[in-house]
Amino acid sequence: MDKMFLSPAEIAEYTSGVAVTKSNLSLLKMLLLGFMAGAFIAFASNGSTMAAHNLLFKPETYGMGRALTGVVFGTGLMMVVVAGAELFTGNNLMIIGVLEKKISWAAMLRNWGCVYVGNFIGSLVVAALSVYSGLMSASANDFGGMTIRIAASKAGLNFGKALVLGILCNILVCVAVWMSFGAKDLIGKLFACFFPIWLFVTSGFEHSIANMFYVPAGLWAKSNPAWLEAAKLSDSALANLTWGNFFINNLIPVTIGNIIGGACVVGLVYWLCYLRKKA
């Protein structure tokens, strides 16, 4: 009887083959599948905030709110893995294909760059539609208020903390993708995605693609006086919420951290353990 899952060494070999497939996609497919992944993660981000926003407002229920956010957010990676899409953070595992000399550095970077742009566009479209729809007036405007609070907290990070939170995040995201590669059935893939993502979101780590939704949504939401009032933020906290701070304090360091966590901590380590040829 066949095993229902792959061993870690078999996953490593499989991942190097996946890198070849991803690198051979056309630029248009990378962009379109990147758009889908960005939209999937944005839907998950929006839904998780809706589910837990009231809990997140109160210190005594904040931990439960984070846990509930993680439960809903995991749906995003499930859609990426099962429906088929290209997610920049998961594609950091393509480093294994480079180390195995199955693809070039240029091919990997081409994929990362195009997919990253697609992810950004998909996230922005869902963020814009969510704000425009008026959905954030839910719960007496508290949903919009929490959207602004989340964005302000992310834009207010310093470079070093954002970098570290990005590293920690993508260790877990890439472990989730790694385990999903090892599962041979649909239920196994869903469970492999669910638990590490639940852990990363509950812990409060930083995911570059999710932040492409969270911060722009908050930036656009703060133009609504009712949502801004519901956010109950100080003037100094609101002052942090700018496009410049989004890129400098969050997106750039978190993206670098995600690459370190996914490509170096997970991809490089597992390549060294399972695929590196010994003299």
Residue-range domain boundaries for the chain: 8-272
Backbone angles phi, psi at 256, to 5 degrees: -60, -45
pLDDT bin (cut points 50, 70, 90) of residue 120 is very high
Record the tokens describing residue 260, joined without a space. Answer: 């370190």
- A 10 A CB-CB count for 84 gives 10
pLDDT at 1 over 60: no
Handedness of CA 26, 27, 30, 33 (dihedral sign): negative
The per-residue pLDDT of the chain, averaged, comes to 96
pLDDT at 26 over 80: yes
Please give the pLDDT value at position 153: 96
- Alpha-carbon span 140 to 122, nearest angstrom: 28
- Alpha-carbon span 136 to 144, nearest angstrom: 4
pLDDT digits (tens, 9 = 90+) for 146-189: 999 999 999 999 999 999 999 999 999 999 999 999 999 999 99
Please give the pLDDT value at position 3: 79
pLDDT bin (cut points 50, 70, 90) of residue 37 is very high
Instruction: Give the single-character DSSP code of 278.
Output: P
End-to-end CA distance of the chain: 35
Percent of the residues in the chain that have a pLDDT greater than 70, as a whole number: 99
Question: Nearest-CA neighbor of 269 among 106, 92, 107?
Answer: 92
* Rounded mean pLDDT, 76-93: 98
Please give the pLDDT value at position 226: 97
* Rounded mean pLDDT, 252-278: 95
CATH code at 8-272:
1.20.1080.10
CA triple 113-114-119, angle to 5 deg: 100
Question: Nearest-CA neighbor of 216 among 129, 116, 91, 97?
Answer: 129
- Where do runs of H (alpha helix) occur along the chain? 8-23, 27-56, 62-79, 95-99, 105-132, 142-155, 159-182, 186-203, 208-221, 225-231, 235-240, 243-245, 252-259, 269-274
- Alpha-carbon span 37 to 169, nearest angstrom: 17
* Rounded mean pLDDT, 221-247: 96
* Rounded mean pLDDT, 120-125: 98
Helix, coil or strand: residue 183:
strand
- Alpha-carbon span 157 to 246, nearest angstrom: 9
Please give the pLDDT value at position 278: 55
pLDDT bin (cut points 50, 70, 90) of residue 279 is very low
- Alpha-carbon span 144 to 53, nearest angstrom: 9
